[in-house]
Amino acid sequence: MNYTAGSPAVWDPAFEDADDCLLSSDQCVIRAQQYFVKGLIEIPVIGSDEVFSWGVWVSLSRESFSRMADLWDVPGREAEGPYFGWLTTDLPVYSPTTLNLKTSVHTRPVGERPYVEVEPTDHPLAVEQRTGITPDRVREICEAVLHPGGINR
């Protein structure tokens, strides 16, 4: 019950061999000037104990990224306050775009991806994170992600 973006929207495959760029499963640096971390936007599924997760990339300031990296393998890191970030994943089922939504990135225990909280606005993603989604909405999201552009008949 999740969808994960492989890289931030601004990543270009041409960066792969650059010395000042990095793309791992958890962190990304572009030209030693832009910093990103992967986290989860979790949305409760109404009527169940399940959660739908979006694996997303969030841009952080150099200072926040450095602090988060310093604590990456430190037990108790979840006591750290949240970091401000901008969502840099365009989730395909939302309009308007999810790019550049304001977020708070909450560190969790070592081995767990950070929790990404979308700023509580009237954007559909923010509303769904607050209120949850139905199982039918989960199916709709899965269909859109697995079959972009719809089914041709």
Domain boundaries, given as residue ranges, for the chain? 2-146
Q: Tell me the pLDDT tens digit for each residue of 41-57.
A: 999 999 999 999 999 99
Q: What is the mean pLDDT of residues 20-26?
A: 96
Here the tokens at position 137 are: 């909405």
Q: Tell me the pLDDT tens digit for each residue of 85-139.
A: 999 999 989 999 999 999 999 999 999 999 999 999 999 999 999 999 999 999 9
The answer to whether the CB of 118 falls within 8 A of the CB of 41 is: yes
Q: Say how far apart CA 126 and CA 5 lie, in whole Å.
A: 18
When the pLDDT of each residue in the chain is averaged and rounded to a whole number, the result is 94
